[in-house]
């Protein structure tokens, strides 16, 4: 009888431990500072998601996450299709996952963008991993940036019309959480001109977009740039935060097309789209890139999910940038003389 009671007690403790693990809130800050891959199952009606063309339209779904320490959490969520161009060209659209159900273990994550491969081929997955690295590179350069977390994602179609499959994907930090950890807030706002944002950070963003060969962004149109505002100073100019880099030259996606307005002939062609700055202002920002060069190259070279060939292609592309800023005359020509005037 004592042995039976001991077994019951141990079983109760185990069940209680599992229950606690399921209901304990995941730390949203730690979630995006840990670099280990999360195994995640996502179940929803994928075919219905493919057909949905509206914005902010969500459907039921569920996720199960297995963390590197062996902890598993599961909960119901809602899932919405997002994006514009990729909805039309991708097998399954990018998604927004809403974890904000009170009392659930993942509620602190908020609403997260899920970035997935456009297709099922290895080349599509390669593009996703390159874009993931670009977020990580910008994290090295600037704290006011979106953090990301890599997943090994298992898709399950609730309607059983699409066979289960697995691919790499990544989650992008909730914008409100990103703002909060930087002493800022997100808010609805009117259109802002590029030069109506924080001058120093706008210079960093413009140079970064040149660094990766990206012209697919606009502050006034709110295109691939999020604005956040100082929490304790309403008069301060907003901070621009770049995101969505799949059209850049460093990724060099097959579906990306040159910018007709700017006049580029290929996606890998760099064009500086920042407004006039003094040479001193430009050099101050470029010093950050120079100081972080070894860390950036180490990040790329040690990312073994990409082949050595691809990693070398990425560093060669960045070599062109670093070579171009060695001479002050080149810096003046690119970032001062050829800055935007309108």
pLDDT in tens, 314-328: 999 999 999 999 999
Long-range contacts, stretch 328-337, CB < 8 angstroms, 24+ apart: 328/279, 328/283, 331/279, 331/282, 331/283, 331/286, 332/279, 334/210, 334/272, 335/207, 335/210, 335/272, 335/274, 335/277, 335/279, 335/282, 336/276, 336/277, 336/278, 336/279, 336/282
pLDDT at 11: 42
Asked whether the beta carbons of 247 and 238 are under 8 A apart, the reply is no
Domain spans of the chain, in order of start: 26-176, 184-337
pLDDT value of residue 120 = 61
* pLDDT confidence band for 85 (50 / 70 / 90): low
Q: Above 60 in pLDDT, residue 7?
A: no
Per-residue confidence (pLDDT) for residue 190, from 0 to 100: 95
Q: Using a pLDDT cut of 70, give the percent of the chain over it.
A: 90
Cα separation of 127 and 51, whole Å? Answer: 24
Average of per-residue pLDDT across 272-284: 98
Q: What average pLDDT does this structure show over 150-161?
A: 94
In contact, 221 and 244? CB cutoff 8 Å: no
Please provide residue 311's backbone torsions phi and psi, each rounded to the nearest 5 degrees: -60, -40
Res 24: pLDDT: 75
Number of Cβ within a 10 Å radius of residue 169: 23
Q: How far apart, in whole angstroms, are the C-alpha atoms of residue 69 and residue 245?
A: 31
Q: At what angle do helices 199-212 and 308-324 cross, to 10 degrees?
A: 130
Q: Is the pLDDT of residue 82 over 90?
A: no
pLDDT of 70 > 50? The answer is yes
**For 161-188, how does the pLDDT look when each residue is reduced to its tens digit (9 = 90+)?**
889 999 999 999 999 999 999 999 999 9
Averaged over 230-239, what is the pLDDT?
97
- Say yes or no to pLDDT of 104 above 80: yes
Q: Does residue 112 have a pLDDT over 80? A: yes
Residue 239 has pLDDT above 80, yes or no: yes
Look up residue 157 and give its two tokens. 């179609």
Phi/psi of residue 37, nearest 5 degrees: -75, 135
Q: How far apart are CA 124 and CA 121, in angstroms?
A: 5
Joined tokens for residue 283: 């050099």
Give 219-228 pLDDT, tens digit per residue: 999 999 999 9
Is residue 310 predicted with pLDDT exceeding 80? yes
Average of pLDDT values for 258-269? 90
Q: What is the pLDDT of residue 86?
A: 63
Q: For residue 4, what pLDDT is reported?
A: 46
Percent of all residues in the chain with a pLDDT value above 90, rounded to a whole number: 80
């Amino acid at each position: 009888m004592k042995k039976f009671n001991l077994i019951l007690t141990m079983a109760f403790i185990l069940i209680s431990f599992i229950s606690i693990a399921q209901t304990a809130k995941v730390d949203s800050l730690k979630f995006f500072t840990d670099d280990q891959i999360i195994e995640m199952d996502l179940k929803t009606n994928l075919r219905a998601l493919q057909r949905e063309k509206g914005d902010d339209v969500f459907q039921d779904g569920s996720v199960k996450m297995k963390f590197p320490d062996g902890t598993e959490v599961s909960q119901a969520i809602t899932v919405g299709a997002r994006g514009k161009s990729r909805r039309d060209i991708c097998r399954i659209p990018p998604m927004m996952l809403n974890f904000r159900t009170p009392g659930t273990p993942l509620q602190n994550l908020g609403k997260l963008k899920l970035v997935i491969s456009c297709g099922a081929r290895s080349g599509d997955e390669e593009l996703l991993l390159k874009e993931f690295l670009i977020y990580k590179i910008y994290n090295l350069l600037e704290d006011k940036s979106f953090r990301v977390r890599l997943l090994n994602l298992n898709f399950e179609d609730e309607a059983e019309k699409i066979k289960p499959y697995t691919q790499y994907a990544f989650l992008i930090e909730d914008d409100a959480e990103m703002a909060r950890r930087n002493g800022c807030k997100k808010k609805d706002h009117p259109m802002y001109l590029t030069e109506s944002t924080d001058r120093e950070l706008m210079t960093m963003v413009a140079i970064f977009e040149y660094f990766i060969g990206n012209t697919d962004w606009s502050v006034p149109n709110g295109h691939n740039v999020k604005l956040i505002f100082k929490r304790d100073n309403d008069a301060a100019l907003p901070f621009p935060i770049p995101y969505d880099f799949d059209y850049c030259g460093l990724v060099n996606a097959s579906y990306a097309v040159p910018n007709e307005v700017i006049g580029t002939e290929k996606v890998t062609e760099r064009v500086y789209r920042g407004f006039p700055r003094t040479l001193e202002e430009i050099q101050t920002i470029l010093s950050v890139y120079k100081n972080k060069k070894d860390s950036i190259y180490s990040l790329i070279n040690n990312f073994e999910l990409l082949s050595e060939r691809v990693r070398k292609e990425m560093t060669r592309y960045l070599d062109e940038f670093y070579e171009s800023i060695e001479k002050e005359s080149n810096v003046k020509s690119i970032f001062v003389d050829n800055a935007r005037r309108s």
